[in-house]
Structure 1
Amino acid sequence: MDFDYVVIGAGSAGCAVAGRLSEDGRARVLLLEAGGSDRRLPILMPAATYLLAIGNPRYDWRYKAAADPTRNDRRDFMPRGKVLGGTSSINGMCYVRGQPEDFDVWAQMGCHGWDFASVLPYYKRAEDNENGADEYHGAGGPLSVSNIRSAHPLSEIFLQSCVNSGLPRKTDINRPPQDGIGFLQATQRGGWRCSAARAYLWPARRRSNLRVATHAHVERITFTGKRATGVEYVVAGRKLTAKASRAVVLCAGALASPQILMLSGIGPEAHLRTKGIPVLQDLPGVGENFHDHPGTSHTVWTRGKTYNVQRGFFQSMLYGAQWLLAGRGPGSTPDAHVIGFTRSRAELNRCDVQFHFTPAGYDLTENGPILFDRPAATGLINIHRPRSRGWIRLKSADPFEQPEIQPNLLGDEGDRETLIRGHRLMRRICETDPMARQVIGEFKPGSDVQTDDEWRAFVRETAMGFYHPAGSCKMGSDRMAVVDERLKLRGVEGLYVADASIMPIVVSGNLNATCIMIGEKCADMLKQAS
């Protein structure tokens, strides 16, 4: 049980870290994952994930946030992958990087080496883009990025209505500038999900220097003095310890990474003492700066058939065979077909609102997504770079109890107003031809939501985090920073954090691609330090 590196969490970043550190065949790497195998139909078949994996405790941590006073005490459901690949094994497979300005702002905040020019090579190195390599994309990397294989006709109709509403059509939503609307690219290979585990761990399964331990629940990081030297974890009720001679790399995600640090004695001193945890390092920023992309959903009833009514027994068998044999059809569909970015106000210098369009109608509830049983379509609206901040704290010193998560999602009034402006535009798009000819009614928000006060009430009642938690162990150089620009934990040796928690400000888009980039860059920095 002696290793050079112990990596905690086989999610988007953790798989990249472990895969890259072990590729030389010499460094001994242990990767710990609390979940099980990703070689299961609900993971590999994109459409099956929404029905069989999200909300299933076999694959999903099923986090539940505390009552949020900014939204009438709503309690968000927060799915996080509990399986090899982490959330990349149950997410919507949207390959979105964010804006170059996101990373340039990180660098201006003291995160040297994280400007866009510095991170772009890591995006490209990870990527195997179906359209080939160019100045913004890579080919031959482990992560397969593919064009959508079987777009629903309604998706093209919606896209054209966006264009008719003033959004420019884009053939590549990841090519700056971000403004515009287009079909997404998905993290798929041949219509099958390409999670971080499939990208980095499947090719590495024969490496003798990489050990992947599943169903391994980490209790705490161990130290000699102030140097991280190993990890204590539990498998099937048995407590085990693994030693790390070079480094422990924490990649458990924005919800679990601060929890593990606090359980290990690293965090706000006063809070740790209330839980009876001996304080190793007082770091007040652990668990703070927590934020997500606030969003709402716009659902309309449609004339033509959508995926809502294309799931009977015989249709499911047909679509399953189509996916299995050809990697096409509804079984291959990612969460959204169309992705768009725009500005809530014309005077802004960059986009602050994102759209996802799905040719299926569903509702996002406190207990998870609910699919309707009649033809419908849903457009999601979320804002980028919110100013609202929440926090994550321990409920107790029990490592098996979920942490206390307070999103404080709409704590900033400006976030709420931006979201309303974005949702008004979504309504206008659905009222524009050719989409307008397909809509027979608006379910949500409904025709009774018209005035500013009615919109504010609607947002308070329905807004939620869009499953993009970030920032709870932020990178930087100020007093509240948890890690430095090399992802090394402040105040201790041999401990690094690499996942969405290190983002000082969440990127302007879905998180999977950026988390993989963070893992790639972390592995590179660790190799340079060894």
Structure 2
Amino acid sequence: MLSANLLDAYDYIIVGGGTAGLVVASRLSEDLHATALVIEAGRDHRDDPPVSTSGFLSLLCGNDSYDWKFTSTPQPGLNSRALSLARGKGLGGSSAINFMHTVYPTAASIDAWLKLGNPGWSYQDLAPYYQKFGTRHAPTDEIRAITRIKSLDDSLSGYGPIQMSYGQAFGVTNSAWMDAHISLGLKETNDPIPGSVTGAFQNAASIDPTTKTRSYAASAYYNSQIRQRLNLTVLTETIVQKIMWQGQEPDVVATGIQVREMNGTISTVKAQREVILAAGAFQSPQILEVSGVGGSKLLDALGIDVILDIPGVGENLQDHAQVCQSYEVKDGIPSIDMFRDQELVGAAIAQYRINGDGPLGTNASSTSYLPIVDKNGPLSAESKKILLDEFVTDSSERNVILKELLMEAGAPALSYVTFPCQINTDIEDLTSFSNYTAPAKPENYFTILNALGHPFSRGTCHITSQNMDISPTIDPGYFKHPVDLEILSRSVMFAEKLMATEPLSSTILAQPNGRRLPETIPSTLENARHIVEERVISNMHLCGTCPMMPREEGGVVDSRLLVYGTRNLRIVDASVFPLIPVGNIMTTVYAVAEKAADLIKED
């Protein structure tokens, strides 16, 4: 809420106290002579057990206190289903509600940003910032043996405030996951950080190994020491109404922001140096458009004065569409589904309160990055080319770069993540993520989250009103490009082969071809396509709506993250991603924000 001691002006105003915003605020306020103000619409959840306790993550998405609960438009490519699009609401943003997987992109997927006209944004340029945001703690020898980790490059483990660890809950499912990939002749990656990830690997999680609590932007970049900085002010439960302007293009200056308190009071705060947008892939373009920056046709229709005509605002929306394939497990195989028994829940809570141990203090998922596959395994170079040439006929620069990415030998096109419970998407209401994980079947399950790594489809996010309380219309555009359906359908078929491979099959499955969700077996490509269209959900990796690209190519910010036509408005969150990298995007959001802070200091 607004402070009685609020200054009339600050050097830097950061709009959004989420994953990126708190990184930038923390770094800029290291200069004690510079004042910084963070405006966050949500609350401070650092003392909330559902946020801090990793095992309670299923309580977050779909909960009004923690999640904005955005919903997509009905998707033609998904048989007109509308999906939940969870976004973190509060300090820390989506880093407060995500699944805490710390995986890294391939070097090639970041180098693609450079190819799209962004000097200074190769993987080599960004690599130091992957080390700067976090510190990876090495696993014990026992966990190394279980997860088949032979070596880790300690020089890449980082030195930053986000704490990443492996925990002690790894077991037979993780070993079987790694060994099944080896049985199929697939590569394994010991260390996923260097940028050459392919095959199966064991990822860490953003969990502090000492406290066994979630390590995220609010706990790490706004800790008790940083909170004592007199030059840093963080206001929660305060809504940014619009950005204030002065001047004409190409020298438009953001002079400040207009904000609204919870009681409805409207105030204006001035910016002496910069206004920095970090409101996320939906609300950063929303704020731009209500402030007069966006496509002039849309703004004119809504009666908004056009400050800058930038049609790329709200375009280029990307996500990792995913299918969840759940399999019944044998008795004794760990599954969160067991916690439908309240006595077990009570025992787990008691154990966690004593020493932070047990299932509530860890995250034991495994991952693999795979190239384009079919029911038998990775496609040959010739087969990949035939598939891509058949379905990708548009020779735009972006599509050419994506095809090059996927044609590289072994280059990941897909990510698989294991999850120790059932995820049921055969439900009527798909607009709340919490509905997916509510146990629908009495058995215990193991799930493969099967996600498209480099989608060709693009969506949009645009306002329909000048009112910031009205959510923008969000159309992720799943399967607008036909090749996405083809790649993911084949991947669904391969997941069946993977689960039928030893030792996964005999170690984990209750029985071959046993109970599963969805119940249809993807034995043919037609069946697989049907499953994908009926079962795809969002991976919550929404990005790209204010892309860093040349303006004439649909870009919104330049390579220094300045909005075109302005002198002092930057965007530093996932909305600037020109192309979504493979895997969970949290590490790249942190890295981009760290680099953004350095760019701001340099300028």
Secondary structure, aligned partner of 2:221: helix
Alignment TM-score, normalising by the size of structure 1: 0.96
Q: 2:350 aligns with which of 321, 338, 342?
A: 321
1:242 aligned to 2:269?
yes
Equivalence for 1:406: 475
Q: 2:366 aligns with which of 315, 338, 359?
A: 338
Per-residue CA deviations over 1:48-102 (Å, capped at 9, x if unaligned) read: 121x221111110000010111111111101100011000000010111211111
CA contact (8 A) 2:318 2:580 kept: yes
Secondary structure, aligned partner of 1:410: coil
CA contact (8 A) 1:216 1:235 kept: yes
Equivalence for 1:169: 188
1:284 aligned to 2:284?
no
Computing the radius of gyration over CA atoms, which structure comes out larger, 1 or 2?
A: 2
Distance 1:104 1:272, change over 3 A: same
Equivalence for 1:55: 62
Q: 2:536 aligns with which of 450, 455, 463?
A: 463
Q: What's the % identity of the aligned pairs?
A: 30
Q: Which amino acid aligns with 2:543?
A: A
Q: CA deviation at 1:241?
A: 1.8
CA contact (8 A) 1:287 1:472 kept: yes
Q: Which amino acid aligns with 2:221?
A: Y
- Give the 5 Å matches for 1:213-292: 213-225=235-247, 226-236=252-262, 237-292=264-319
Equivalence for 1:25: 32
> d(CA) in 1 for partners of 2:257 and 2:189?
47
- Give the 5 Å matches for 1:59-458: 59-131=66-138, 134=153, 137-190=156-209, 191-202=212-223, 203-225=225-247, 226-236=252-262, 237-305=264-332, 306-334=335-363, 337-344=365-372, 345-347=379-381, 348-349=407-408, 350-364=411-425, 365-368=430-433, 369-372=436-439, 373-437=442-506, 438-439=508-509, 440=511, 441-458=514-531
> d(CA) in 2 for partners of 1:448 and 1:498?
43
Q: CA deviation at 1:155?
A: 3.0
> d(CA) in 1 for partners of 2:184 and 2:464?
48
Distance 1:137 1:510, change over 3 A: same
1:475 aligned to 2:551?
no
Per-residue CA deviations over 1:448-501 (Å, capped at 9, x if unaligned) read: 432222211221111122110111100011411000000000012210001111
Secondary structure, aligned partner of 2:298: helix
Secondary structure, aligned partner of 2:424: strand
Secondary structure, aligned partner of 2:165: strand
CA contact (8 A) 1:360 1:377 kept: yes
Q: CA deviation at 1:20?
A: 0.3
Q: CA deviation at 1:323?
A: 2.5
Q: Which amino acid aligns with 1:314?
A: E
CA contact (8 A) 2:153 2:191 kept: no
> d(CA) in 2 for partners of 1:238 and 1:149?
50
> d(CA) in 2 for partners of 1:314 and 1:160?
34
Distance 1:407 1:259, change over 3 A: same
Equivalence for 1:516: 590
Please give the root-mean-square deviation of Cα atoms over the aligned residues, in Å: 1.7
Q: Which moved further from structure 2: 55-64 or 416-425?
A: 416-425
CA contact (8 A) 2:105 2:195 kept: no
> d(CA) in 1 for partners of 2:164 and 2:274?
31
1:15 aligned to 2:22?
yes
Secondary structure, aligned partner of 1:59: coil
CA contact (8 A) 1:12 1:196 kept: yes
Per-residue CA deviations over 1:202-252 (Å, capped at 9, x if unaligned) read: 141110000010111111111122210111111212222221110000001
Alignment TM-score, normalising by the size of structure 2: 0.85
Distance 1:258 1:72, change over 3 A: same
Q: CA deviation at 1:276?
A: 1.4
